[in-house]
Amino acid sequence: MLNAFSLFIKFVLLLHLGSLFAQTFTNPVLPGGYPDPSICKVGDEFYMANSSFEYFPGIPIHKSKDLLNWTLIGHGLHREAQCNGGAVNLLDVQPNGGIYAPTLRYHDGTFYIITTSIYFDEKTKKHIGNNFIITSNNPSGPWSDPVVVQGAPGIDPDLFFDEVGRLWYTGQQKPKDPEFTDQKEIWMQELNLETFQLMGERYHLWRGACDGVWTEGPHIYKNDGRYYLMIAEGGTSFNHAVMVATSDNLTGPYVSNARNPIFSSRQLSYENWVHSTGHGDLINLDDGRWYMFLLGVRGDLNRKSNMGRETFVVPVIWERDMHPRKGKILWPVVAPKTGRVERVNPVIFDGTALTKDLTFQDDFKYTKLNLAWNFVRVPMPNTYSLDENPGHLRLFTHPNTISRRKRAHFMGIKQTESDFVITTKMHFNPLGIESAAGIAIVQKDDNYVSFMIRKEADGMLVEVLHKKKKIEIIKTHKLESYKGEIRFKLVSANDTYTFSYATKGRRYKVLTTTKADLVLFNGFTGAHIGLYATSNGYDNNDFSDYDWINYIPKLRKWKE
C-alpha cells in the first residue's frame, strides 16, 4: 500500500514538473551564429532576419507562430547573381566582411530587407560599403536583386513607414565634427518608394547616450503618439548596450532617456552566462505586450563559445518618467524584473512550448540541398552534387584549402551547442596524392579544425589538423586496412573533443582527444560543422561520397 502511494506521489510530481517545464522556454531562442536579429509580424506569424557576413546563402530568414520555435524558410541572398561583385561581393570577401545587420519590415503586401555589404579591396586598401534593399512578396523567396541606396554612408540601416506611407531611411555615419575617436551619429532621410533613392532633407538625429562609441543599429518605432529611436552602442563585446531616445516628431529633435542604457550586460560579471548583449529589435504583440530580440554571447568556455553571437529574447514594458520636469514620457523598460537575459523564462503565449528539435540529420535523398547548409562565400561550380550518386552527397576535391578569402570545398551547418555528437559515413577512393576528405569545424579562414583521411604515396592516413594562424597536425595515423569506407565521430563533452573513426566492418577507435577550445568565437560569426574535401594544391578529379550526417547537440547545464 505504501509503495502504491509513493508511486502515486511520484506520478503527481512528474506531472507537475512536466507542466512547469511546458510553461517555460530556454534562451537563446535561435541558437548558433545568428546575430543582429530583426523581426516583423504579418498576421499571426513572425519573421526574423539575421546577419550572415561572408557566408552564402546570405541573410537567413526564419518563421515562427509563438516566438520560440523558429523554422528556417529561406535566405534573402540565395542566387549567385545577387552577390557576384556588383552591389554585393561574396566571392572573395574578407573574413568578417559581407552582410552586416539587416532590417526586415513588411508594408502593403511586400517584405523589405535593408542591409550593408562590406568589402575590403586589397589593391586600394579601402573598405567598400554598400547599403542596399531587396524585396519579395514571399519571405521564403525569391528575393529581388539588390538596389544600392546611393549616397548613404555607414552601416546597419533601418526602414520606417510613416502614417501616410512615406518610407524613411535611418542610418549611421561618422559626424563631420567628431568629439572623440569612434564617435558616430544617427541620421535620417526620406526614400523614394519607386527607386529606393534618398530625397529631401537629411536630418541628424542623435550621437548616442553614453559616450556614443560605435553608435549603430538604429530602429525607429512609434508608441503612445511619440517616436522612439533605439540604437546599439559600445561595440559588439562586453560593453555592448541598447540605448533609446524619443521625439514628438519623426525627424527630431530626439531626447535621450536619462536611464540609458536600457539594456546591457556591462554591469554584470564577465562570468555571467551570457554577455555582450545588445543590437535589439522590438516587436509589439496584438495583446499590447512588447518583447525585444537581441544578440548575446554565451560564456561556455573561457567566456566564449563556438556559437558566437546568438539570438535571445527578453520582455519589455513601458513606464512613464517619475520626474515631473521630464514631461511624464513613456519609456521602454527591458527585462523589468531582473534587468538581464534569463536562461529559463515563462513562455510568451499560453499553451505553447519550446518543441523544436535542434538535431540535424541529412541522408541526401532529395535532389535539393537542405536550407541549413552554408558555404564560406559563394560556392564554386562543381563543389558538390546530389545527382552523381543518388542518395549521397558527392563533394569534389579542389586545390584550395580553407584559407583567407579563398573558396574551399567546405559546407557546414551552424553549431548550436558547445556539447554535441557529430557522425558521418563517407566513401573515398582518391587517385591523387594529397587528396583528403572528412569533416571540419570552421570558425574562420584561419581558425578551424579538420578530421580527415588523406592519401599518401604508400597508403591512407587519418589525421586531425588544427589551424589557428598556422597549421598544426595534432595527430596522424596510418590506416592498415582501408577499404574505401570510413565513419567519423566527433564528440564534444566536458570541454573536451574526442575524435574517433571506424573503417569498414570495424568499431569506432579513438584517434585522439583535445581541449574543446580550438575554434572559440573570434570575430562576428559562429562556427559551422560540416563536410570538407581538398586536393591540397593538386588538380585532380577525386571526390568523396557521403551517405549521411547526424548532428546531435547537447544542452549544457549552466551553474548560476
Annotated catalytic sites, by residue? 36, 216
Dihedral angle computed from the Cα positions of residues 510, 511, 515 and 518, in that order, rounded to the nearest 10 degrees: -130
Q: Is there a contact between 184 and 172 (Cβ–Cβ < 8 Å)?
A: yes
Across 342-469, the runs of DSSP E, i.e. the strands, are 344-346, 360-362, 374-376, 384-385, 393-396, 409-414, 419-428, 436-444, 447-456, 459-468
How far is the C-alpha of 418 from the C-alpha of 298, rounded, in Å? 10
Residue 90, all three cell numbers: 561574396
**Which secondary-structure segment (H or E) carries 7?**
helix 2-22
Phi-psi sector, 523: left (phi>0), alpha (psi -120 to 50), beta = left
Q: What are phi and psi of 229, to 5 degrees?
A: -110, 110
Q: Is there a contact between 227 and 246 (Cβ–Cβ < 8 Å)?
A: yes
Please enumerate in sequence order all residues whose Cβ is within 8 A of that of 14, keeping only pairs 6 or more positions apart, or say none: none
CA 98 to chain centre: 13
How far is the C-alpha of 385 from the C-alpha of 55, rounded, in Å? 19
How far is the C-alpha of 560 from the C-alpha of 557, rounded, in Å? 9
Dihedral angle computed from the Cα positions of residues 304, 305, 307 and 309, in that order, rounded to the nearest 10 degrees: -20
Please enumerate in sequence order all residues whose Cβ is within 8 A of that of 47, keeping only pairs 6 or more positions apart, or say none: 39, 40, 41, 61, 62, 63, 104, 106, 111, 139
